[in-house]
Chain A
Amino acid sequence: QVQLQESGPGLVRPSETLSLTCTFFGGSVSGYYWNWLRQPAGNGLEWIGRVYSSGSTNFNPSVMTRVTMSVDTSKNQFSLKLFSATAADTAVYYCARGDIRTRAFDIWGQGKLVTVSS
Chain B
Amino acid sequence: IVVTQSPGTLSLSPGERATLSCRASHSVTGTFLSWYQQKPGQAPRLLIYSASTRATGIPDRFSGGGSGTDFTLTISRLEPEDSAVYYCQHHNNPVTFGGGTKVEIK
Return chain A residues, CB-CB under 8 Å to B93. Answer: 58
Over the window 48-91 of chain B, the binary record of Cβ atoms lying under 8 Å from chain A Cβ atoms (1 yes, 0 no) is 01100101000000000000000000000000000000010101
Q: B-side binding surface: helix, strand, loop or mixed? A: loop
Over the window 18-50 of chain B, the binary record of Cβ atoms lying under 8 Å from chain A Cβ atoms (1 yes, 0 no) is 000000000000001010100000111110011
A61 in contact with B34 (CB, 8 Å): no
Return chain B residues, CB-CB under 8 Å to A35. Answer: 95
37-76 of chain A: CB within 8 A of chain B: 44-47, 50, 58-61
B46 in contact with A104 (CB, 8 Å): yes
Return chain A residues, CB-CB under 8 Å to B53. Answer: 102
Complex Cα–Cα for A110 and B42 (A): 7
Q: Which residues of A contact B (CB under 8 A)?
A: 35, 44-47, 50, 58-61, 94, 99, 102-106, 108-111
